[in-house]
């Protein structure tokens, strides 16, 4: 692992926080600048086939390490079994 210094400063797509990052190693997200969403995602959060125009105009936006870690924890928690014991009638 190399200890490269961050080369770019930008805003996180997830939380909007400004942070320094290296574009070669940072998590990047394709975003359609016309809608502000990833290509193929609607304002209601549903997913559809993206149009070729939306894919062509999409730009890469960085995601900060904090948001990446929170997303990983969310996915792990979503797969975890419920923490409560089942209730049985006596």
pLDDT the model gives residue 5: 75
**DSSP label at 47?**
B
pLDDT of residue 15: 93
Per-residue pLDDT of the chain (90 residues; tens, 9 = 90+): 456 677 899 999 999 999 999 988 999 989 999 999 999 998 898 989 999 999 999 999 999 999 999 999 988 888 766 666 666 676
pLDDT given at position 21: 93
φ/ψ of 56, rounded to 5, equals: -65, -35
Residue 30: which of 53, 8, 59, 50 has the closest Cα? 59
């975003």: which residue's tokens?
Answer: 31
Of 40, 6, 48, 9, the residue nearest 25 (C-alpha) = 6
Among the residues of 12-90, which ranges form H helices? 52-57, 65-79
- Domain locations in the chain? 8-78
């Amino acid at each position: 692992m190399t200890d490269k210094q961050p080369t770019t400063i930008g805003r996180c797509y997830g939380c909007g926080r400004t942070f320094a990052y290296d574009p070669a190693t940072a998590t990047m997200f394709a975003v359609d600048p016309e809608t502000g969403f990833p290509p193929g995602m609607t304002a209601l959060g549903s997913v559809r086939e993206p149009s070729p125009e939306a894919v062509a105009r999409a730009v890469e936006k960085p995601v900060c390490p904090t948001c990446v870690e929170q997303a990983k924890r969310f996915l792990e928690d979503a797969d975890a079994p419920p923490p409560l014991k089942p209730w049985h009638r006596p």
